[in-house]
Amino acid sequence: MAAVNYESNHSDNQFMLKTLTFAVLHFGVAFTIAYVLTGSIGISSAVALIEPLANTVVFYFHEKAWQRFGKKEQLAQAEKHRFPLHQCVGN
């Protein structure tokens, strides 16, 4: 899957605005779901604040894992191109 280059499509201000509007949307969804399930404004507020924080921490480790996977993929591709004539044998 190709990476999307957001920098070429968005200015820094647009990117920050998009990030902030998504954060508000995320908070609203989390609050609404928690409120529907619990009926408590306090619990819903806590869930809406804690859940994005937990997701941010999980995302950090998820991103690190993807970076490690990407490096392995790059090494495998580089190794393939290191001896291109060997690719013809047996194909």
CA diameter of the chain: 67
**Is residue 74 predicted with pLDDT exceeding 60?**
yes
Check if the beta carbon of residue 34 is closer than 8 Å to that of residue 44: yes
* Dihedral sign computed on CA atoms, order 52, 55, 60, 66: negative
Check if the beta carbon of residue 30 is closer than 8 Å to that of residue 52: yes
Per-residue confidence (pLDDT) for residue 12, from 0 to 100: 84
Q: How confident is the model at residue 75 (pLDDT cuts 50, 70, 90)?
A: confident
More confident residue, 87 or 24: 24
Q: How confident is the model at residue 30 (pLDDT cuts 50, 70, 90)?
A: very high
Per-residue confidence (pLDDT) for residue 52, from 0 to 100: 86
More confident residue, 73 or 1: 73
